[in-house]
Structures are given as structure tokens and as C-alpha cells.
Amino acid sequence: MRIEYKQGAKELLNEIKTLWEKLNEHHIEKSKHFKERFKSFTFEWRIGKLSENEDRKINVIVVSDKDKEENIGYCLASVLGSYGNIESLYIDPEYRGLNIGERLMTDSLEWINSYEVEDIMIGVAGGNEDAFGFYEKFGFYPRVTKLGLKKE
């Protein structure tokens, strides 16, 4: 297996669409209360929200398996003002355990910190708390739990 990492900005967003959709399916499966909300999300809506503020800087890292000629993971990060955010991260289950996620996080955090931000956040969808252990390796811990009103 030949793994390749490609880093860029908005020009790489379309390369992560299929993987983002797999992540959203994962959230639909894991969500206890907001399945319908995740079902209503589209990649275009999410990228539109990220692009609303022209000052937001975007970093995309796409991971591909060159032997299979397919994308297998990504990390999407952003910086707005003095705040950084890991917007989303996904690795195809077949490729987990190969330290791909660690490299994605390390490279993304390095990119965010190049802007000398004051704070960096990661949102973890309800039902996906198993991801906490992974993020703790990078110094991220639950700070606030936001509860959302479930509308019928």
C-alpha cells in the first residue's frame, strides 16, 4: 500500500466530498437524538457554511491509497481570527490503526498554530464520544457539553 498525503486549501474540498458523506453517515448511525438533522446535512451546505466568512482560512489534507487510486481519509481545519478549529476528520475504517489520523492531526495543528491562534477547538457529535480518547492524545479534553433542543 502506497499512502500519499496532499495538503492545500479550498481547491481540495471537492476531493473530500465522498469521505465527508461517509463521516456524516457515521454520525447518523451513532446519533441517539439527531439522526434527522444529520440526514438533512449536505456537503454543499457544510462547505457553504465554512465559506460564509471570507476571512476564514481553510486547510485540507487528503490521504489516498495510490495502489487503489482512491481517497481514504482527510482532515479539514480552519482559522478565523485568533481561533482554530478541526472541522472534521475521517479515515476509512480499513485504514485505521496505521497512524494516519495522528499525522492528519499533527499536520493540521501545525498549520493552525502557524497563525498564532489563542484557542483551538474540535466538535465531537453526540454519540461519537468514543473519539475522545483519540483527541486526548493531542491535548483536547471536553470543555463544555452543549445540548440541543430536539424538534419533532
CATH code assigned at 18:
3.40.630.30
Strands 83-91 and 119-122: parallel
Domain assignment of residue 142, yes or no: no
User: Within a domain: residue 107?
Assistant: yes
Q: What amino acid occupies position 17?
A: K
146 within domain boundaries: no
Tell me how many domains the chain contains: 1
pLDDT digits (tens, 9 = 90+) for 45-74: 999 999 999 999 999 999 999 999 999 999
What's this model's pTM, rounded to 2 decimal places?
0.94
What are phi and psi for residue 82, nearest 5 degrees?
A: -105, 20
pLDDT at position 146 is 87
Range of the domain at 16: 3-136
Q: Is residue 64 part of a domain?
A: yes
Comparison of pLDDT for 145 and 100, the residue scoring more: 100
In a domain, 149, yes or no: no
In a domain, 152, yes or no: no
Confidence of residue 152 (pLDDT cuts 50, 70, 90): low
CB neighbours of residue 74 within 10 Å: 27
DSSP state of 99: S
Q: Is the pLDDT of residue 123 over 80?
A: yes
Assigned domain for 19 exists: yes
Structural domain contains residue 110: yes
Per-residue model confidence (pLDDT) at position 112: 98
